Amino acid sequence: MHRFAYKGRELYCEDVPVRKIAAEVGTPFYLYSIGTFLDHYTKLKEAFQEIDPLICFSMKANSNLTVLKALVNQGSGLDIVSGGELFRAKKVGVDPSKVVFASVGKTEAEIEEAIRARILMFNVESVQELETINAIACRMRMPQKIAIRLNPDVAPDTHHYITTGTKANKFGLDLETAYKLFMESYRYPFLRFSGVHIHIGSQITKSKPFILAVRKALQFIDSVRFAGNPVEYLNIGGGLGIIYSKEKPQTARQFAEAILPVLRSSATRRGLKLILEPGRFISGNSGILVTKVIYVKKGKEKAFVIADAAMNDLIRPSFYGAYHEIVPVTRSGRTRSVLADLVGPICESGDFLAKERQIPEVVSGDLLAVMSCGAYGYVMSSNYNSRPRIPEVVVRGSRYFQARRRETREDLVRNETIVREVV
Ligand SMILES: Cc1ncc(COP(=O)(O)O)c(C=O)c1O
């Protein structure tokens, strides 16, 4: 569920007409419903309440500071993947003991900064990384908790670019290597082997692959505990799917009802603390992209609706072939519909927001909403074709604010110099 809905002919975000914001801010822009972010966080928290999990919002999905602050104020932790994300996390004052750090390529500088910030733990993805964290923690004289990221070799039914838990992927460690590391934890005196981490992919709509992966992780925990290693945390990652089109994903409650029985035998009885790292589930349906039609070009087979938003603003359709519903911001009452591609102005055939859609007839100046853009939207945007990045607007009830302004032309060249020596 989300808080974008029509009242009469107008699309609203919570209690604000989208058209009103467009008139003030200009197009294109991202629009976030803070109420929806918080609803989704709360739904997950409540679904798992009997084991009081730590929910670390995966900020790679949406790292807008206002969004993060709203979630952190609600009690959320953060899942980070870079020094830049750590910087943002600190800016919003997250409790560092609720921060987990994943990524296959943490640099020494990032590791040092995270240890100094006293984050809860690193999710470690290779032997070399483990050695590096130990060496840095030793140099700093600051013991550090870590979790080993297992690669459970479970293939969820999702786009191959967002499958992460199979042997073909770069993520995590195979179970044999991971077991050996736990057995040899004495070699890393500055590390506390506190957790086991899995993350099998994204936009997973069924519970079954999660159950398989969690079972494998629990068996693994049993075996290392049996050998005398106290494991306190099981981090089951993110990956919960949402509705973009006709998907019927598990709800938070259904997910909890599937996972809790598997955990119950282990988690509550033996005191395992559960960590979840949802990104898309919390943010995906909490945001939209608002764009204006510039031209309509009627071809022989289909029309091209040329909008002012493009692949640099939202890369998901071009990158993953992702589907986003396209709806008018104001229902025009025109009854004819056309078969059309919704495209941007960028010089690439891959620049599209929707392909071969039957959409209500539009004319220049009409506003369109690209739905479900709150996850992996703005964060993946770029300046390709020297297009300034677009604003992010937040709504809470009947009030709206620009949480990030539109970039200016000067912003585009801010970090550049014309090197006189070579021209
Ligand atoms: C380790 C890890 N945790 C959590 C997530 C968030 O995934 P999602 O947005 O599908 O919930 C990702 C996404 O790539 C990830 O790599």
How far, in Å, from the CA of 279 to the mean position of ligand 1? 6
pTM of this prediction exceeds 0.85: yes
The pLDDT tens digits for 236-285 are: 999 999 999 999 999 999 999 999 999 887 654 578 999 999 999 999 99
SS3 content of the chain, % helix, strand, coil (to 5): 35, 25, 40
Q: What angle do CA 227, 233, 238 make, to 5 degrees?
A: 130
Atom of ligand 1 nearest to the CA of 123: 1
For residues 272 and 123, state if they share a domain. yes
Would residue 138 show up in a list of annotated catalytic residues for this protein? no
Of 276, 295, 310, the residue that ends a domain is 276
At 260 the pLDDT is 93
Of 255, 276, 297, the residue that ends a domain is 276
For residues 246 and 297, state if they share a domain. no
| Residue 409 CA, distance from chain mean position | 28
For residues 363 and 327, state if they share a domain. yes
For residues 269 and 298, state if they share a domain. no
Residue 38 lies in a domain: no
Residue 386 lies in a domain: yes
Test site for ligand 1: of 170, 276, 277, most ligand atoms within 8 A of the Cβ: 277
Domain count of the chain? 2
For residues 224 and 151, state if they share a domain. yes
- Beta strands at 392-396 and 29-33: parallel, antiparallel or unpaired: parallel
Residue 50 lies in a domain: no
Atom of ligand 1 nearest to the CA of 162: 14
The pLDDT tens digits for 368-404 are: 999 999 999 999 999 999 999 999 999 999 999 999 9
Of 276, 306, 340, the residue that ends a domain is 276
The pLDDT tens digits for 210-224 are: 999 999 999 999 999
Phi, psi of 338 (to 5 degrees): -130, 155
At 160 the pLDDT is 65
Among 290, 310, 272, 371, smallest CA distance to 54 is for 272
Among 279, 234, 260, 235, smallest CA distance to 41 is for 279
For residues 365 and 256, state if they share a domain. no
Query: What distances in angstroms separate CA 191 from CA 130, 234, 317, one per listed residue?
Result: 9, 17, 42
Asked if residue 290 lies in contact with residue 19, where contact means CB atoms within 8 angstroms, the answer is: no
Asked if residue 204 lies in contact with residue 284, where contact means CB atoms within 8 angstroms, the answer is: no
For residues 259 and 399, state if they share a domain. no
For residues 368 and 407, state if they share a domain. yes
- CATH number of residue 205's parent domain: 3.20.20.10
For residues 146 and 222, state if they share a domain. yes
Asked if residue 120 lies in contact with residue 145, where contact means CB atoms within 8 angstroms, the answer is: yes
How far, in Å, from the CA of 403 to the mean position of ligand 1? 24
Atom of ligand 1 nearest to the CA of 376: 9
CA dihedral 97, 145, 58, 313 (to 10 degrees): 110
* d(C-alpha 66, C-alpha 214), whole Å: 33
For residues 258 and 316, state if they share a domain. no
- CATH number of residue 387's parent domain: 2.40.37.10
Domain coverage including residue 156: 103-276
Helix (H) or strand (E) holding 110: helix 108-116
Q: Which residues of the chain have pLDDT under 70?
A: 157-168, 266-269
